[in-house]
Amino acid sequence: MARDEDSARSEPTWLARPQLGRLLAALVGRGYAVLAPVVREQALAFAEIERVEDLPIGWRDEQEPGRYRLAQTGGTRCFDVVHGPGGLKPHVFAPREPMLRVEMEPERPFRAALLSPPRRPLAVIGVRSCDLAALTVQDRVFLGDRFRDPWYGARREDLFLVAVGCTRAVATCFCASMGTGPAPAASYDIALTELDADAGGFVVRAGSDAGRAVLAALALPAASADALAAETSAYAACAGSMTRSLPRDRVRDLLYANLEHPRWDEVAERCLSCGNCTMVCPTCFCHAVRDEPTVDLRESVRVREWDSCFDVQHAQIHGLNFRPHTRERYRQWLVHKLATWVDQFDTSGCVGCGRCITWCPVGIDLTEEVAAIDATSRAETPS
């Protein structure tokens, strides 16, 4: 659905926290299945909800390299957990998807039929700005001028996005340095900023005609000047609290100039090649396509499923593996993410969400790796 490029076109309104159920009911009334963040297995996940009480009210997350914890604070905020291992990606780029069915019968030509995903209008509440930015990146990958993926496109078309801006950051966040947060900028239908002003509630903006239609039905009052000032301060404080960063304007050339840097060997000694970073990354799109025949060989389904460039088989071709060592695989991932992605899609493949840092079992931090390469490069450059 079409969304505004400039979110300032929508006058901000105010939704009191106890009235959040009205927004949920309005989306359900328009035929959407509503996904929102919930606490599942000691982490945050998107799941279908039926009531506001299903949200992670009072929960907060603590994230460090290789560490994720949730704690109940007893507070009233609905969206104080920044994010979990999953984001929007599984809901547009399915982890496993049947694409083609081939039927084979003796003495008859084989028949092939494309398999389309079931159409299901989906509203997702609680989308963070980094995930909105990641969705924009994936749109360039799957809906570009040269290639349009019909499975991704169908799901994307049926998506209604309710963003929630980040008024707090965890230790692994660095979206401010990537220009992707903490405030939602575009690609949303409705954006919320949760504040404790005026007894608690949300500054609300529409970012599309569909979003405006939903908000018009709610007839919300205008946001007060105090609420807008508190919103501005909250975003500034959130951005200022981030301790990690990437040199966004320099990192592409920096990595290209250091493809043989000894740091690649150092990180390879710690990396397990487990692929966790690629699975939680909201932009990674590596996948494998395989045929799965039935036992009697009369039918076969072609399936696409997520893959990882850290898997040793990912670089296997006939008689050769061109990335046999962890060093090459980590370098491929990082250089593609931060450099060659820019050449391919005119944007970085990193949105600063920090998930790859949190969910790495050994706490490898890509901002630390880039800083180490940068430091030695500067030291070797004559003044």
Same domain, 173 and 34: yes
63 lies in a domain?
A: yes
Same domain, 265 and 141: no
Number of domains composing the chain = 2
Q: How far apart are CA 66 and CA 14, in angstroms?
A: 38
- Residue 98 pLDDT > 70: yes
Which of left, alpha, beta for 334 (phi over 0: left; psi -120 to 50: alpha)? alpha
Same domain, 87 and 124: yes
185 lies in a domain?
A: yes
Question: What is the domain extent for residue 40?
Answer: 7-240
Per-residue pLDDT band for 382 (boundaries 50, 70, 90) equals low
Per-residue pLDDT band for 197 (boundaries 50, 70, 90) equals confident
Per-residue pLDDT band for 108 (boundaries 50, 70, 90) equals confident
Same domain, 373 and 332: yes
3-state secondary structure the chain: CCECCCHHHCCCEEEEHHHHHHHHHHHHHCCCEEEEEEEECCEEEEEECCCHHHCCCCEEEEEECCEEEEEECCCCCCCCCCCCCCCCHHHHCCCEEEEEEEECCCCCCCEEEECCCCCCCEEEEEECHHHHHHHHHHHHHHECCCCECHHHHHHHHCEEEEEECCCCCCCCCCHHHHCCCCCCCCCCCEEEEEECHHHCEEEEEECEHHHHHHHHHHCCCECCHHHHHHHHHHHHHHHHCCCCCCCCCCHHHHHHCCCCCCHHHHHHHHCCCCCHHHHHCCCCCCEEEEEEECCCCCEEEEEEEECCCCCHHHHEECCEECCCCHHHHHHHHHHHHHHHHHHHHCCCCCCCCCHHHHCCCCCCCHHHHHHHHHHHHHHHCCC
Mean pLDDT within 217-227: 95
Same domain, 135 and 96: yes
Q: What is the pLDDT of residue 379?
A: 66
Instruction: Give the residue from 220, 240, 260 where a domain finishes.
Output: 240
Per-residue pLDDT band for 383 (boundaries 50, 70, 90) equals low
Q: What is the pLDDT of residue 8?
A: 44
Instruction: Give the residue from 187, 220, 240 where a domain finishes.
Output: 240
**Which among 255, 193, 179, 259 has a CA at the least distance from the CA of 227?**
193
156 lies in a domain?
A: yes
Q: What is the pLDDT of residue 4?
A: 58
Out of 9-13, 163-167, 371-375, least confident range: 9-13
Same domain, 286 and 362: yes
- Residue 7 pLDDT > 60: no
31 lies in a domain?
A: yes
246 lies in a domain?
A: no
Same domain, 228 and 269: no
Report the alpha-carbon angle 250-254-256, nearest 5.
125
Amino acid at 26: A
Same domain, 369 and 230: no
Q: How far apart are CA 182 and CA 175, in angstroms?
A: 7
- Taking all residues of the chain, what is their mean pLDDT, rounded to a whole number? 93
pLDDT in tens, 273-313: 999 999 999 999 999 999 999 998 899 999 999 999 999 99
245 lies in a domain?
A: no
Same domain, 215 and 259: no
Same domain, 315 and 277: yes
pLDDT in tens, 320-365: 988 999 999 999 999 999 999 999 999 999 999 999 999 999 999 9
1 lies in a domain?
A: no
